[in-house]
Amino acid sequence: MIFLKTEDEIELLRQSNLLVGKTLAEVAKLVKPGVTTRELDKVAEEFIRDHGATPTFKGFPNQYGEPFPASLCTSVNDQVVHGIPNDIVLKDGDIVSVDCGTYMNGFCGDSAYTFCVGEVDEEVRNLLKVTKEALYIGIQNAVQGKRIGDIGYAIQQYCESHSYGVVREFVGHGIGKEMHEDPQVPNYGKRGYGPLMKRGLCIAIEPMITLGDRQVIMERDGWTVRTRDRKCAAHFEHTVAVGAGEADILSSFKFIEEVLGDKAI
């Protein structure tokens, strides 16, 4: 069932999502060669709890195994999504996609950003650039009167025009009092198909795009998803409220990009 949000509920969602953006900015301060993703996770969890919220990912149930053990998903290089923070040291030239969720005042926040670690190859940087651009192209279609398929179609066409793979197995989603609500929001699709979008619908749009083939596999931990061909993948995500004229972006990359400066994608 799809739940449309009131203006007051959207403002509560905005608060949770802005906290996600600020948390990712704290992560951005630390991303460099020599740091571990477990260190990033520790800082993020402390920051979230210090601001009166809880990390929604920690303890999240899993039909394939154990609940998620951390506050961030940290997916490095060929890992697409749901990477578990660990003690492996990030190296110069790596990329790390950081997905973060918060729960505050009864509503969820969800956003993701892919960071460069030191100096990254131009080919990989371009993947990140196109994936981020695709996110905003998708958001342009999150308006009243359009359909969910219009979002996926726009993202798919843009990314495939650059010869990138568009992951099918994992998609965006509705969001509100629960992190995952209806409808699903694929990054592929047909124009004019899918649920009709109405004002007050809140969704997380999150392109997951690969440098090579779109095929993915799940690691034995039951969480980490990586590309089958071991080529890099990028992931950017915003939570938005569908509007009459344009979408209202509830999360923010502003805080991240203030930290990164001219190194931002």
DSSP H helical segments within the chain, as ranges? 7-28, 37-50, 122-140, 148-160, 254-260
Is 110 annotated to bind a ligand? Reply is yes
> Are residues 232 and 124 in contact, defined by beta-carbon separation less than 8 angstroms?
yes
Contacts of 174 (CB under 8 A, 6+ apart): 2, 3, 180, 181, 182, 183, 184, 185, 201, 202, 203, 204
227: left (phi over 0), alpha (psi -120 to 50) or beta: beta
Instruction: Identify the residue whose tokens are 């961030």.
Output: 72
Is 82 annotated to bind a ligand? Reply is yes
Q: Which two tokens stand for residue 159?
A: 């990314």
Is 206 annotated to bind a ligand? Reply is yes
Sign of the Cα torsion 213, 217, 219, 223 reads: positive
Of the candidates 200, 16, 4, the one whose C-alpha atom is nearest the C-alpha of residue 105 is 16
> Are residues 160 and 148 in contact, defined by beta-carbon separation less than 8 angstroms?
no
Is 99 annotated to bind a ligand? Reply is yes
Is 45 annotated to bind a ligand? Reply is no
Binding site members: 82, 99, 110, 173, 180, 206, 237
- Going by the annotation, the residues of the binding site for substrate are 82, 180
Residue stretches of the annotated binding site for a divalent metal cation: 99, 110, 173, 206, 237
